[in-house]
Amino acid sequence: LIPASDTTPSGLARATSIEKSGVLLGGDINVIRPSVHINGSCMSLALNANKHELVRLIKGTTVKHIYNSDIKDIYICLPKSKNEQDKIVFLFKEHDNLITLHQQKLEHLNNLKKYFLNNMFI
Tell me: the pLDDT tens digits for 31-90? 988 889 999 999 999 999 988 888 888 898 889 999 888 888 888 889 999 999 999 999
**Model-level pTM?**
0.78
Q: Give the helix, strand, coil percentages of the chain, each rounded to 5.
A: 50, 5, 45
- Dihedrals phi, psi of 29, to nearest 5 degrees: -130, 135
Using CA atoms, how far apart are residues 34 and 24, in angstroms rounded to an integer?
A: 18
